Amino acid sequence: MEDSYCPDCKRLTEIVFDHSAGDTICSECGLILEAHSVDESSEWRTFSNESSDHDPNRVGGPLNPLLADGGLSTTISKTSGGSNELLSGSLGKWQSRGANPDRNLIQAFKSISAMADRLGLVTTIKDRANEIYKKVEDQKPLKGRNQDAILAACLYIACRQENKARTVKEICSVVTGATKKEIGRAKEFIVKHLEVEMGQSMEMGTIHAADYLRRFCSNLGMTNQAVKAAHEAVQKSEELDIRRSPISIAAAVIYIITQLTDDKKPLKDISVVTQVAEGTIKNSYKDLSPHLAQIIPSWFAKEEDIKNLHS
């Protein structure tokens, strides 16, 4: 019991809770101090074996509009030991006869979620990848294709559409059953298929070097000032006619900026973080070299230092 002030008794008295009615009652005079209060404790009761780590409860997952039953179907689990095993086994047979039409879809969503978690992607990207996979799966063109590559491609496209681009190499690093080439082919297949279905081109979002820059800089432990300078340099580089991929430009800019600081980053470290070959970074650097004075912020480096870097 707890103590609370009772206006009738005009002092602190012990109170009791009527959980069925949600009332708080004075134990001495019977005055209802609070009516229809909300119980904020756990809604469920647990009947599981206390020695088990599994703790089933009556609260399920959220509604999923991509599933036929909204993801609210009931699965009969099999208990261990006792007469309950016979009952659950019998019910389990009936359950297995009525196969869940969303079984494959649920497994695909779990795989997408696992890959997204390993890449540190947000829920909106997971949901977009699920939507893309559902659209393709509804048309049943996936038979005989590499499922891992299809799921990875859906995640890649979702990242592009949500303006949180990841490279194919990054996506490939969290997939065990597909190569970079297979993911690329799956991406082209999905885009082509959805464009035919929609009757229009599929919006993929434009990739910019800045989309990768902050993540790479963070992984390299660069200072805030260096990150800001690299971001400005990347934006200015877009005005130039440099025939290099955005990720190569990002890697080259990072190399240039770090060479102008006391904390110089080895080319090998930049290559590992960006997953761009050292030779590609060197070639991109050569392409940018004639324009260093134009792209490097004047507040970050002196003109003499920039000239020394170019030489």
What is the per-residue pLDDT across 118-156, written as a single tens digit (0 to 9) for each?
988 889 999 999 999 998 888 766 677 889 999 999 999
- Is 181 in the same domain as 252? no
| Domain interval for residue 14 | 3-34
Q: Collect all residues with Cβ–Cβ distance below 8 Å to 130 and sequence separation of at least 6.
A: 66, 108, 109, 112, 154
- Is 184 in the same domain as 274? no
Query: Could you tell me the CATH number of the domain that includes residue 180?
Result: 1.10.472.10
Q: Which two tokens stand for residue 197?
A: 């279905």
pLDDT of residue 306: 82
Instruction: Label residue 301 exposed, middle or buried (CB < 10 Å: 0-12, 13-18, 19+).
Output: buried
Residue 89 counted as domain residue: no
Place of tokens 């003499």: 304
User: For the chain, how many structural domains are there in total?
Assistant: 3
What is the per-residue pLDDT across 104-115, written as a single tens digit (0 to 9) for each?
888 899 999 999
Segments of the chain scoring below 70 in pLDDT: 1-2, 19-21, 36-101, 140-142, 310-311
- Is 122 in the same domain as 194? yes
- Is 165 in the same domain as 255? no
pLDDT of residue 230: 94
- Is 174 in the same domain as 217? no
pLDDT of residue 307: 80
pLDDT of residue 86: 45
User: CB of 135 within 8 A of CB of 161?
Assistant: no
